[in-house]
Structure 1
Amino acid sequence: MDKYLLKRAARPFSLIVALVVCGLGIRLSWQAGYQDIGRALAIFFAAVIAQIGVNLINDHRDIETHSLTDQAKHAIKRNLWLGVGCFVAAAGLGLWLVWLTGWQLFLLGVIGLAGGWFYTAKPIAYKHRGLGLVGVFIFTGVMMVYGAWMAMGGDWSLRVFLLSLPVSLIASLILLANEIRDYEDDKTKQIGTLSVRIGLLPARILFVILAIAPFAAVFSLYELIPRFWMVLPALILLIAPLKEFLKPEGQRQKLPPVTGRFFAGFGLLYWFAV
């Protein structure tokens, strides 16, 4: 039941993802001369509200796949409607930004909302098909950076796409941290996350690869990142997640939040590096 409490279902540690990726898009637009504090605040609010919405609807399929108490079912249904409300609020801010910028942002927003909804919703439910990491990389990473950039007034840009890759990789890492933490529970309930499909050991190997990949991406993009070396202190923040994910079942509860702290540190350093 604790899993479905509002304060846990909202997954507050994950909100740093929305702040970092949108902050990157805003920073890049600011450098390019698209400077509007009103738009920037609207983008931050819309991104955080949309992220909360995705988190709140994430568990609604549990009603069909789990044996739950009436209290738990009520909490899930409440969270679902609150999540829908978050989507409506985010869409309202998004439409104002669309009015300022153009139809391209509207198209991006519709695709992004669909990506959030069908994370667990039928008929796609790509989380249960082992595609959650790919979806988060695209919808919570690349598209949110690009969406913030376009909402500030930017146009199509290969540079922005390339610079979004490091933070998009860590967004997927945070989801993988969730999957590893919940591995035994998801396996028992036959939830087809990527970690359940490939097994715990391969998932842990993938975790290490995804933890290193953002640094490799930054160094490979050194021509676009003048101060690429500034992300190196974030390596210190990797110690806690790497220690946590090696713990046995039942002792990995801190893995997602400590991975979130790594993302926050990396993201802030990355803002200064670009």
Structure 2
Amino acid sequence: MTAAVSTRQAWLMAARPQTLPAGAAPVLVGTGLAIDAGVFEPIPAAFALVGALLLQIGTNFANDYYDAVRGADTEDREGFTRVTAGGLIDPESVKRAMYAAFGLAILIGTYLVYVGGVPILIVGLASVVAGITYTGGPLPYGYRGLGDLFVFVFFGLVAVAGTYYVQAVVGVAGKFPLWIPDGTVPAAAIVAGLPAAGLSTAILVVNNIRDRETDAASDKRTLAVLLGYRASRIEWTAMVGLAYVIPVVFWLDGHHVAVLLAILTAPLAVRIGATVWRRSDGEALNPALERTGKLLFAHSALFAAGLAAPALL
């Protein structure tokens, strides 16, 4: 089977395009909120999107490389093929690709640092370090039940608020502010990040439920390993449920009724949930993982459109 995989296909597998909605979704939400607030800036928004996708790809390469060299990716694993463990790409090449992706993210980030100053410098460097140390370094936190928290914070709260910030700061501060100017990270920017945070975490939960047995055998102590199947499924339900509470909160707070558009994705969430609650095998959860990524993107796109609707109509 591996002989039939071309080099191009192997690199595409390593980049894991099915996970890229986790990088793009919060940028959409932050931009929708910026449009609603009248602070939309297309260039910072575009740079934030490209930077987020590069961080996602770099993290994917890091996970592929470090899980393989640590022995977490075994032939018993039921997830998508990992190119390092599967022998499709040599480890050093994957490691170089990881550094290249993070390097490009830092290059893109130089413009955002110019606009957003020290706060973006701190967030950007922290994101790169977090992407590497998720499975790399002497104390990988993904092996200690902290991966869910990382995803919730960085792929939800930080990504949405950061996207809003790099647009809002353009009109209220000079270049390279030393700290966060007043009004550039309102409470709404944090709360708006909760749906993306929850759904991004839900992607990881599906992954970890599927891999629970093999992760436990290789001493990879994900939260699913620590909590067990039932509690992990409750976590998944809570994370997804959060995505449907927040649009209602925004509507009750006076936002346009269009903010409720995201609720249209609820039937897809219910169908995925039925699989997550009944199954733990890769045959069922690999498609559920991809569908959760699609749910994240669809929900975020509709939520962003609902936030932006008053300014666009």
- What is the TM-score with the length of structure 2 in the denominator? 0.79
Matched, 1:143 2:143: no
Matched, 1:101 2:116: yes
- Partner letter of residue 241 of structure 1? I
Root-mean-square deviation over aligned CA pairs: 2.4
Cα distance between partner residues in 2 of 1:178 and 1:117: 19
Q: Which residue in the other structure is 1:244 paired with?
A: 275
Q: Which residue in the other structure is 2:100 paired with?
A: 85
Cα distance between partner residues in 2 of 1:34 and 1:240: 37
Q: Which residue in the other structure is 1:64 paired with?
A: 70
Q: Which residue in the other structure is 1:119 paired with?
A: 134
Matched, 1:182 2:188: no
Aligned pair partner of 1:129 in 138, 144, 154: 144
Aligned pair partner of 2:191 in 162, 176, 182: 162
Q: Which has the higher contact order (CA 8 A, sep 6+)?
A: 2
Contact 1:141–1:164, Cα closer than 8 Å, also in 2: yes
Shift of residue 63, structure 1, vs aligned partner: 0.9
Shift of residue 248, structure 1, vs aligned partner: 4.5
Larger Rg, first or second structure (1 or 2): 2
Aligned pair partner of 1:10 in 12, 15, 19: 15
Secondary structure class of the residue paired with 1:72: coil
Cα distance between partner residues in 2 of 1:110 and 1:81: 18
- Partner letter of residue 265 of structure 1? A
Matched, 1:234 2:265: yes
Shift of residue 125, structure 1, vs aligned partner: 1.2
Shift of residue 97, structure 1, vs aligned partner: 1.8
Q: Deviations over 1:85-106 (max 9, x none)?
A: 0111111111112113322221
Q: Which residue in the other structure is 1:110 paired with?
A: 125
Aligned pair partner of 1:40 in 37, 45, 50: 45
- Partner letter of residue 62 of structure 2? I
Q: Which residue in the other structure is 2:81 paired with?
A: none
Shift of residue 188, structure 1, vs aligned partner: 2.5
Cα distance between partner residues in 1 of 2:37 and 2:85: 53
% identical aligned pairs: 23
Q: Deviations over 1:66-116 (max 9, x none)?
A: 578986395343222111101111111111121133222212212222222
Structure 1 169/250 Cα, relative in aligned 2: closer, same or farther at 3 Å?
A: closer
Shift of residue 32, structure 1, vs aligned partner: 2.7
Structure 1 window deviating more from structure 2 (195-204 vs 246-255): it is 246-255
Secondary structure class of the residue paired with 1:120: coil
Any gaps of 5 or more consecutive residues in structure 1? none
- Partner letter of residue 23 of structure 2? A
Dislocated runs of 4+, deviation >4 Å: 66-71
- Partner letter of residue 259 of structure 1? T
- What is the TM-score with the length of structure 1 in the denominator? 0.90
Q: Which residue in the other structure is 2:311 paired with?
A: none
Q: Deviations over 1:161-211 (max 9, x none)?
A: 111112111111111111112222222322111101111222122222222
Shift of residue 224, structure 1, vs aligned partner: 5.6
